[in-house]
Amino acid sequence: MKNILVTGSVGQIGSELTLELRKRYGNDNVVAGINRTLPTGELAETGPYEKVDTTNIDDIKAVIEKYKIDTVYHLAAVLSAVGEQKPGLAWDIGVNGLYNVLELAREFNLAVFFPSSIGAFGPTTPLDNTPQDTIQRPTSMYGVTKVTGEMLCDYYHLRFGIDTRGVRYPGIISNVTLPGGGTTDYAVEIYYEAIKNRKYTCPLGKGTFLDMMYMPDAIDAAIDLMEADPGKLKHRNAFNITAMSLDPETVAAEIKKHMPDFKLDYDVDSVKQNIANSWPNSMDDSCAREEWGWDPKFDLAAMTEDMLKVIGEKHAKGQL
Position with the least CB separation from ligand SER: 182
Burial 53-64 (b: 16+ CB within 10 A, else e): bbbebebbbebb
Is 171 a binding residue for ligand SER by CB under 6 A? The answer is: yes
Nearer to ligand SER, 29 or 245 (CB): 245
Q: How far apart are CA 268 and CA 243, in angstroms?
A: 25
Is 183 a binding residue for ligand SER by CB under 6 A? The answer is: yes
Verify whether residue 25 is a known catalytic residue.
no
Is 118 a binding residue for ligand SER by CB under 6 A? The answer is: yes
Q: What is the four-CA torsion angle of 131, 133, 135, 140, rounded to 10 degrees?
A: 90
Is 148 a binding residue for ligand SER by CB under 6 A? The answer is: no
Distance in Å, CB of 87 to ligand SER, minimum: 14
Burial of 48 (0-12, 13-18, 19+ CB in 10 A): middle
Is 240 a binding residue for ligand SER by CB under 6 A? The answer is: no
Nearer to ligand SER, 178 or 310 (CB): 178
Contacts (CB under 6 A) with ligand SER, residues 9-68 = none
Q: Binding-site residue total for ligand SER (CB under 6 A)?
A: 11
Q: Which of 49, 142, 186, 200 is catalytic?
A: 142
Listed residue (132, 129, 133, 118) closest to 277, CA to CA: 118
Kindly state the DSSP code that residue 34 receives in the 8-state scheme.
Answer: E
Nearer to ligand SER, 5 or 215 (CB): 215
Listed residue (9, 168, 165) closest to 77, CA to CA: 9
Chain contacts with ligand SER (rule: CB under 6 A):
79-80, 117-119, 142, 169, 171, 182-184
